[in-house]
């Protein structure tokens, strides 16, 4: 009925338009500004030389193939990293946790399947009004989450959101497999989105999935399909076709970036900063080349943190802000890809503020062990090639790949 009230979250809201004789007045479009940001990186550093103590590799071999020198290993859970990141992002935005309406937890390394991880963050923050959802598209989980939360704000479902990208890969890494063990690290970061009438925040998104290539990246040993197969939790086998993933990653990120730029009339000259998924330096360089963007417009963290899956883009974004590389009104391009093989490219128009409104006093508990010590503890209980080998050797039924 014309002029009727809508009910959103139990609250009555006026329609976006009102009729008055021959006049029709439209409500301004709602956008979702990024108003807060915060990261939480584990302090323990695992260097390439550390990896060479138990893998047949060298610092030079890793650097020349990936651009990585080190990565982090967490002494706490991924949820704990996320909680501190969220506290820091909320302080930055000046938003009380009690006023948060949505929490999106982007990850493929949750501590548990039920209950979901976002609910744990909600409880720790005291965000009792917030809806809480987990989202897993592997390395693109943060980008998909940012798009989802933006859409929910634009459509009036919520007025604000906390979006988290976090991974704790060290616990289920096959540390005997050089092809993957040198690549990944732990970390987390979060952003706060708030409704605004200004045309800022995510202004364009292209999401997709090259599902015919999903078998090129698989972690065996995780999921209910391995129940009853004598697979010990923590034992994994990684299917990782590096050459195929490289080609598909460059194609997916480049094509989606070109599409989102074309759809919004953006050229390479208009982009102020690229904040890409940090999977491999050569992939990033190839994507920048295809987009016609010089590397001095690209934010890099891959050398220090490796591939943190869904945490790479938000951590790089936070560090770009800390380093003053994000300017008021700047245009950012955020491309990524992940298992599935999912891909995404987002255009983000930044607002006027590039400094925090406040600072959180939340910190991690002290870490008393080195990264290498923690990894060696994990290695000591892993046996993917022994006790769990039979259950990991064949594909789970119903995966659409076998």
Mind giving me the DSSP string for 318-370?
HHHHHTT-SPTT-EEEEEEEEGGGEEEEEEEE--S--S-S------PPPP-S-
CA 348, 133, 342: angle at the middle one, nearest 5? 55
Report phi then psi at 336, rounded to 5: -160, 170
CB neighbours of residue 3 within 10 Å: 10
CA–CA distance, 50 with 70 (Å, rounded to integer)? 9
Q: Respond yes or no: is residue 139 known to be catalytic.
A: yes
Of the listed 108, 139, 209, 280, which one is catalytic?
Answer: 139
Q: Respond yes or no: is residue 280 known to be catalytic.
A: no
Report phi then psi at 307, rounded to 5: -95, 110
CA–CA distance, 317 with 331 (Å, rounded to integer)? 13
Contact in structure between 144 and 135 (CB atoms under 8 Å): yes
CB neighbours of residue 355 within 10 Å: 9
CA–CA distance, 70 with 62 (Å, rounded to integer)? 10
Strand partners, 176: none
Q: Respond yes or no: is residue 48 known to be catalytic.
A: no
Which sequence positions are flagged as catalytic?
Answer: 139, 277, 307
């Amino acid at each position: 009925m014309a002029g009727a009230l809508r009910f959103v979250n139990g609250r009555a809201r006026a329609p976006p338009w009102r009729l008055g004789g021959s006049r029709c007045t439209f409500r301004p479009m709602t956008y979702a500004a990024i108003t807060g940001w915060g990261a939480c990186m584990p302090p323990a550093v695992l260097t390439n030389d550390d990896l060479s103590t138990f893998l047949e590799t060298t610092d030079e071999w890793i650097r020349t193939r990936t651009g990585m020198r080190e990565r982090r290993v967490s002494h706490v859970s991924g949820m704990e990293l996320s909680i501190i990141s969220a506290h820091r992002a909320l302080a930055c935005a000046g938003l009380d946790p009690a006023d948060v309406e949505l929490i999106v937890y982007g990850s493929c390394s949750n501590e548990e399947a039920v209950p979901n991880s976002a609910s744990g963050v909600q409880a720790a923050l005291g965000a009792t009004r917030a809806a809480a959802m987990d989202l897993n598209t592997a390395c693109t989980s943060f980008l998909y989450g940012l798009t989802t939360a933006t859409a929910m704000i634009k459509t009036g479902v919520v007025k604000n959101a906390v979006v988290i990208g976090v991974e704790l890969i060290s616990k289920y890494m096959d540390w005997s497999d050089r092809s993957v063990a040198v690549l990944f690290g732990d970390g987390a970061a979060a952003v706060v989105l708030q409704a605004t009438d200004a045309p800022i925040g995510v202004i364009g998104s292209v999401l997709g999935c090259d599902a015919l290539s999903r078998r090129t990246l698989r972690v065996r040993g995780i999921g209910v399909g391995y129940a009853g197969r004598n697979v010990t939790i923590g034992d994994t086998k990684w299917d990782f076709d590096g050459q195929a993933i490289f080609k598909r990653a460059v194609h997916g990120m480049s094509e989606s970036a070109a599409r989102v730029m074309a759809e919004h009339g953006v050229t390479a000259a208009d982009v102020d900063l690229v904040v890409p998924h940090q999977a491999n330096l050569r992939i990033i360089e190839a994507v920048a080349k295809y987009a016609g963007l010089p590397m001095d417009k690209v934010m890099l963290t891959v050398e220090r943190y490796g591939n943190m899956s869904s945490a790479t883009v938000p951590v790089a974004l936070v560090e770009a802000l800390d380093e003053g590389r994000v300017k008021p009104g700047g245009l950012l391009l955020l491309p990524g890809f992940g298992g599935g093989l999912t891909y995404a490219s987002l255009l983000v128009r930044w607002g006027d503020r590039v400094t925090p409104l406040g600072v959180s006093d939340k910190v991690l508990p002290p870490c008393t062990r080195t990264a290498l010590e923690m990894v060696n503890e994990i290695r000591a209980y892993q046996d993917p090639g022994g006790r769990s080998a039979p259950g990991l050797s064949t594909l789970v039924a119903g995966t659409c790949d076998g």
